[in-house]
Chains A and B, each alone.
Chain A
Amino acid sequence: MVGRPVSMHAMRGISAHANGFQTCRAVHLLQILLGTIDAPGGFRYKAPYPRPIPPAIKPTGKSGQVFPNEPLPGPPLGFVTSPDDLLIDEKGTPQRIDKAYSWDAPLAAHGMMHMVITNAAKKDPYGIDVLFMYMANMSWNSAMNVPDTIKYLTMKDETTGDYVIPKIIYSDAYASEMVHYADLILPDTTYLERWDCISLLDRPISEADGPADSIRQPVVAPDRDVRPFQTVLLDLGARLGLPGMTTAEGKPRYPGGYEDYIVNHERAPGIGPLAGYRGVDGTLSGKGAPNPDQLKRYIKNGCHFFHELAPEQKYFKHVNKIYLDFATGFGLIEAPNAIIHQLYCEPLQKFKLAAEGHGAVQPPETHRKRLIEAFDPIPNWYPPFEGKMIDETKFPMHAVTQRPMAMYHAWGSQNQWLRQILGRNWLYIAHQRAASLGIKDGDWVTLTSHHGQIRAQAKLMNGVNPDTVWTWNAIGKRSGTWGLENNAPESKQGFLLNHLISELLPEREGGYRFSNSDPVTGQAAWYDLRVRLEKAADVNGLSAPQFPDLKPVRAAQ
């Protein structure tokens, strides 16, 4: 076979638009037509990919499948291929609190975390008793529309006086903004204090030249009363008697905690979280019985495992018989069948046909037009909704964030070295645009969206599109959090774009407000944000909005 060595690089930016799924498809279609798929120098698959398209796992949770005090009879996430697979009732009402796998976002294989709090507060599709979250800073930098999210987390029912979201349980290793809204905090360990596996069943460290996975091991003992969250989950599961976490006698199946689970859990016979050193003597790779010494073997090998493919297995893996046979034996796929790329996507067409009036399961009238537009079986382009549904002349610019390399996650701010490197963020603006607005380097500016307004301090540069402003992600903190003092620059000068981004789009026909997401996948459309930039006054050197100081966790009673 002859391939073309054309490589393309993108991370999450392309998909974080309301048209992101189709744009991704278009890029992949181009790769297919160019012949770069798994060619030397082209787009290379990394194990566990390539996988059958779509994988034969359907989400569970239709009406009639979920009962109180009973485990879900199947996996909560999966790959729908037709309207019959949607998690909706006979009226078309979403069954999940985030409305994933409903007509709002039929192929929402990642769920729609950014909608949970809003939907729960609006009791749409229903109210909830308990909100249980882990390591997602949903009252701050992981939320769209922070001001309303904070309101929803503390909102009370006017007639009963009860909280609309009655109980919140939250697990985090750090004193993040979300911790302050929890009724019950489950303090987690840090990465240095617990076992983890970076598994081929999830998002492994694979190379194009072969499958690889890795572990983290505890290197320091916790000096406070904390437990690894995964171990806590296994404990909770055993106490609730969940079948996957208890033995036939009702005892905990993984009494040794998460490290016990990593070694002994089998998703299918012989297939567990770690692919290396399987079998009782540790000589098998991919498939094999659990090996009680598996973690020791990983540590001995530098905490990782790598199986290099033979030269004849390395390329065109989707149609490479030698590779497909290997992958089947290794447990990556179930059968050595060629994986054919679909230029025409039949599952999308099924949804489009339903929207056009065909079939037994049809969308509500409010959804038909948008489904017809978005579910084109051939990759297409349509304008992002935040551009189309608001007046672009009033909000002529784009605003985006990127993650700083030195501080990839929000929790970096509680590291006293990292906050010396990046203790606050700035709004970066192109020189020519700033000049036309009378903005000089260091001036304060306001950024206004259809939803809100922030005040930030400007830095001017050349290497940015004049129609776009940008800033570092998740540097801005709320005063009183993360163990920082109230006058920390992270909260007084730092800022978030999240305040400008609405989780709901403006009303559409029928008055329904859709999620600000890709209509196919439910991926949050962070990068559709449109803004107006203006020069502002310096108000005591403070960014805006400023929220009331939170009382530090360590001082709380």
Chain B
Amino acid sequence: MTMLPETTEKKLGLVIDLDTCVGCQACATSCKEWNAQGYSAPLEDEDPRGKDPHGPWLNRIHGYEVLDEVREDSRIVHFPRSCLHCETPACVIVCPTGASYKRAEDGIVLVNPDTCIGCKLCSWACPYGAREYDVKEGIMRKCTLCVDRIYNENFAEEDRIPACVRACPTSARHYGDLGDPNSDVSKLVKERGGFDLLPEMGYKPTNKYLPPRKRRDQAEEGREALPKSDRSMVDRLFALADSLLSGKAGPH
């Protein structure tokens, strides 16, 4: 078993907006691109040009059609899935070698590739399916929150964020310290009613998801009333024109 730090100085993580994610997969491919040459390299695929191409991804996006039973209509919700950097992650506790660990300074959960023995206990313990086994290397892979970008002083300030956040064309992904109640991400979570995935499991995920907004025709607030007729000359002229054009007898 691997011990967890009692507290962490920061709780770095992601806030993912399910309302504005359009499922374009730019975050997934940028993640793969960065990590295939960074901390998690080489992240190789099997059967890349054949019948069943597959390989480890640290971020996957699933699309669901959600049916509203009452309204009998549906909407597509895209759900990006990656490590949530939990406060009490079961995946770390079950690790027999200490390869999986949670950093005291920022809360990031990492795997040390040199001490990971590929036993897969962590992937069984994680209820979020956030860990993927790298068959070619025989070790476990997971989101590193781009630990090799966010502290990289050779990068311009705006690039010191996870590759997925940098790539998102709709700004549906946000990165910051969720332990600081005054951070932009914490404020965003508060404003939009951000929620935890599977809170009942008790692992206290750091990453938060923002719920899809109600459709405009369902939202009660902010609906503008049509202007009422003031019975002026101009108003009556438009009413007449409208009735003639629409072929309905108008109120003259």
Residues of B within 8 A of A164 (CB): none
CB distance from B47 to the nearest CB of A (A): 8
Instruction: Say whether A419 faces chain B, with CB atoms less than 8 Å apart.
Output: yes
**CB distance B24 to A405 under 8 Å?**
yes
Would you call B29 and A462 a contact (CB within 8 A)? no
A residues in contact with B33, CB < 8 Å? 417
Identify B53's interface contact among A405, A419, A492, CB under 8 A: A419
- Please tell me if the beta carbons of A489 and B51 are within 8 angstroms of each other in the complex: yes
Q: Is B213 an interface residue (CB 8 A)?
A: no
- Asked if B51 contacts A417 (CB within 8 A), the reply is no
Report the Cα distance A419→B48, complex, angstroms: 8
Which segment of B70-78, B100-108, B145-153, B203-211 sits at the interface? B70-78
| A461→B75 CA distance, assembly (Å) | 10
Taking a contact as CB atoms under 8 Å apart, the answer to whether A487 and B50 are in contact is yes
Contact assessment for B75 and A488 in the assembled complex, using a CB-CB cutoff below 8 Å: no
Residue numbers in A under 8 Å from B76 (CB-CB)? 463
Which chain A residues border B75 with CB–CB below 8 Å?
A: 463
Contacts of A416 in B (CB 8 A): 45, 48-49, 53
The residues in A between 57 and 105 inclusive whose CB is less than 8 angstroms from any CB of B are: none
Is there a chain A Cβ closer than 8 Å to B188's Cβ?
no
CB distance from A408 to the nearest CB of B (A): 10
Q: In the bound complex, do residue A462 and residue B53 qualify as a contact, i.e. CB atoms below 8 Å apart? A: no
B50 cross-chain contacts in A, Cβ below 8 A: 484-485, 487-488
The answer on a CB contact under 8 Å between A417 and B24 is no
**Cα separation A489 to B32 with both chains bound (whole Å):** 22
- Whether B49 pairs with A406 at a CB distance below 8 angstroms is no
Interface residues as binary, B50-85 with A (CB distance below 8 Å gives 1, 0 otherwise): 110111010000000101000001111000000000
- Is A255 on the interface with B (CB-CB < 8 A)? no
Bound-state CA distance A417–B24 (Å) is 14
B22 at the interface (CB under 8 A from A): yes
- In the complex, which of the residues A405, A420, A484 has the most CB atoms of chain B within 10 Å of its own CB atom? A420
Q: Are A485 and B32 in contact (CB under 8 A)?
A: no
**Residues of B with C-beta under 8 A to A423:** 53
Q: What are the residues of chain A within 8 A of B54 when measuring CB–CB?
A: 420
Question: Chain A contacts of B65 at CB under 8 A?
Answer: 461-463
Q: Is B127 in the interface zone, CB < 8 Å from A?
A: no
* A483 touches B (CB below 8 Å): yes
> Is there contact, CB below 8 Å, between B49 and A483?
yes
Point out the residues of chain A lying under 8 angstroms from B49, CB to CB.
Answer: 416, 483-485, 488
| A123 vs B175: C-alpha distance when bound (angstroms) | 61
Other-chain contact of B22, A405, A417, A462, A488 (Cβ < 8 Å): A405
Q: A418 interface residue, CB < 8 Å from B?
A: yes
Decide yes or no whether B23 CB sits under 8 A from chain A.
yes
Bound together, the chains give a CA A292 to CA B235 distance in angstroms of 62
Asked if residues A405 and B74 are in contact (CB atoms below 8 Å), the reply is: no
Chain A residue with the shortest CB-CB distance to B60: A421
Out of B24, B45, B48, B55, name the residue touching A406 (CB < 8 Å): B24
Which 9 A/B pairs are nearest by Cβ-Cβ distance? Answer: A416-B48, A406-B25, A462-B74, A405-B24, A485-B50, A487-B51, A463-B74, A420-B53, A484-B49
Could you give 20 example pairs across A and B, Cβ below 8 Å? A416-B48, A416-B49, A416-B53, A417-B33, A417-B45, A420-B45, A420-B53, A421-B25, A421-B28, A421-B29, A461-B65, A461-B74, A462-B73, A463-B73, A485-B49, A485-B50, A485-B51, A487-B51, A488-B49, A489-B51
Residues of chain B touching chain A, judged by Cβ–Cβ distance below 8 Å, are 22-26, 28-29, 32-33, 45, 48-51, 53-55, 57, 65, 67, 73-76
